[in-house]
C-alpha cells in the first residue's frame, strides 16, 4: 500500500460509530452513524449518475432529501443510453444507462428532489448560492441537516458559509480537490468548524503529487461527541479504495 502525507492537524479523532453509507468503492462514504438519526434533512451537492449514498441514507432515515446538480438529469441519461446503443459491442455500458434511468425515475419522487442547479457563488440562472440554498430548502429552526458535498473544486467557496451555519449541521462528508494547492484552507476550516473531524480517506482516483500529497481527500465531520484521541489508521477496516483496480492509500500525518 502506497503512503501519502497530510498535516497532523487533519488527523481525525477516534470514532467507534463509523459506518459506510452508499455503494462499494467510489460513491460510498464513511460517516458517524449517530448523525443519521438526528438528521431532519439530507442535502447532497453533486450527483453525476450516482446517488447511492442518499439512497442508503434515506433507507435508514426517511427524511426530505435534496440533491443539487445542474449537469445531469433524465434527458442526459437518455442521451447517454442512445449513444451507448451505437457502441452496443459493450453491453455493460448500455445496461448501466438503462439501470440508471429506472433508478432515477423511482428514487426522485415525493420528498426526494433533484434540483438541477449548480451550487456556487457565481451569478447565473444555472447557479444557486449556498446561502440561498439553505434559506430556500432548509429554514426550520432547531432542525439538523446532513450535508454531502462533492462539487469538483467549488467546495472552497462554501467553507466560510459552512462555519456560519455549523449549528444547523448534524454531520457532513466533503470531498476536497486539488488538496496540495488548498491545504492551508482545509486546515483552517477544520480548526474553525465546530463539528469534529472523525474520518479522512484519500481518493486514489485523484492522484498524488511529487511530494506524495494526495490530490483528493474525503473528510467526515460529526456533531456528536466522542474521544479526543487521534485515529492512526487511515484507511481503516471499513474503507474501500475509490478505484477498485488500485490499492488504497495509507495516510501518514506529520
pLDDT given at position 139 = 78
Residues 6+ apart with CB under 8 A from 21: 28, 29, 30, 31, 36, 53, 56, 57, 60
Query: pLDDT tens-digit profile of 148-175?
Result: 999 999 999 999 999 999 999 999 999 9
Query: Which phi-psi region, left, alpha or beta, contains residue 233 (left: φ > 0; alpha: ψ -120 to 50)?
Result: beta
| Cβ atoms of residues 29 and 239 within 8 Å | no
Instruction: Look up cell 500525518; give the residue.
Output: 253
Of all residues in the chain, what percent carry a pLDDT higher than 70? 98
Cα distance between residue 130 and residue 218, in whole Å: 20
Pairing of the two strands 216-222 and 250-253: unpaired
Strands, E assignment, the chain:
3-6, 18-21, 29-32, 41-45, 65-68, 112-115, 118-119, 127-128, 145-149, 169-177, 196-202, 216-222, 250-253
Cα distance between residue 246 and residue 142, in whole Å: 44
Residues 6+ apart with CB under 8 A from 200: 6, 10, 11, 12, 217, 218, 219, 220, 234, 251
Say what the pTM is: 0.95
What does the DSSP assignment read for 81-93? HHHHHHTTTSHHH
Cα distance between residue 47 and residue 26, in whole Å: 12
What average pLDDT is seen over the chain? Answer: 95
As given in the structure block, the three cell numbers for residue 59 are: 433507507
244 pLDDT exceeds 90? yes
31 pLDDT exceeds 80? yes
Query: pLDDT tens-digit profile of 172-196?
Result: 999 999 999 999 999 999 999 999 9
The 3-state DSSP composition of the chain as helix, strand, coil percent (nearest 5) reads: 30, 25, 40
pLDDT given at position 88 = 65
Query: pLDDT tens-digit profile of 63-117?
Result: 999 999 999 999 999 999 998 887 666 788 999 999 999 999 999 999 999 999 9
Amino acid at each position: 500500500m502506497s503512503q501519502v502525507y497530510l498535516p497532523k492537524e487533519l488527523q481525525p479523532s477516534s470514532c467507534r460509530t463509523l459506518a459506510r453509507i452508499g455503494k462499494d468503492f467510489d460513491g460510498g462514504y464513511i460517516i458517524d452513524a449517530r448523525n443519521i438519526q438526528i438528521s431532519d434533512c439530507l442535502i447532497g451537492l453533486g450527483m453525476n449518475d450516482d446517488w447511492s449514498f442518499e439512497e442508503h441514507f434515506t433507507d435508514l432515515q426517511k427524511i426530505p432529501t435534496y440533491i443539487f446538480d445542474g449537469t445531469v438529469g433524465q434527458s442526459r441519461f437518455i442521451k447517454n443510453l442512445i449513444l451507448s446503443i451505437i457502441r452496443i459491442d459493450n453491453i455493460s455500458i448500455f445496461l448501466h444507462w438503462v439501470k440508471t434511468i429506472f433508478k432515477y425515475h423511482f428514487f426522485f419522487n415525493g420528498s426526494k428532489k433533484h434540483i438541477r442547479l449548480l451550487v456556487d457563488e457565481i451569478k447565473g440562472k444555472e447557479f444557486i448560492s449556498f446561502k440561498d440554498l439553505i434559506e430556500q430548502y432548509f429554514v426550520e429552526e432547531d432542525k439538523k441537516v446532513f450535508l454531502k458535498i462533492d462539487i469538483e473544486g467549488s467546495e472552497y467557496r462554501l467553507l466560510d458559509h459552512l462555519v456560519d451555519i455549523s449549528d444547523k449541521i448534524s454531520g457532513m462528508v466533503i470531498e476536497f480537490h486539488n488538496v496540495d494547492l488548498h491545504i492551508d484552507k482545509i486546515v483552517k476550516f477544520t480548526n474553525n468548524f465546530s463539528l469534529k473531524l472523525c474520518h479522512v480517506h484519500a481518493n486514489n482516483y485523484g492522484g498524488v503529487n511529487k511530494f506524495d500529497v494526495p490530490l483528493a481527500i474525503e473528510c467526515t465531520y460529526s456533531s456528536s461527541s466522542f474521544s479526543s484521541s487521534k485515529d492512526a489508521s487511515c484507511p481503516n477496516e471499513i474503507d474501500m479504495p475509490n478505484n477498485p483496480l488500485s490499492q488504497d492509500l495509507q495516510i501518514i500525518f506529520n
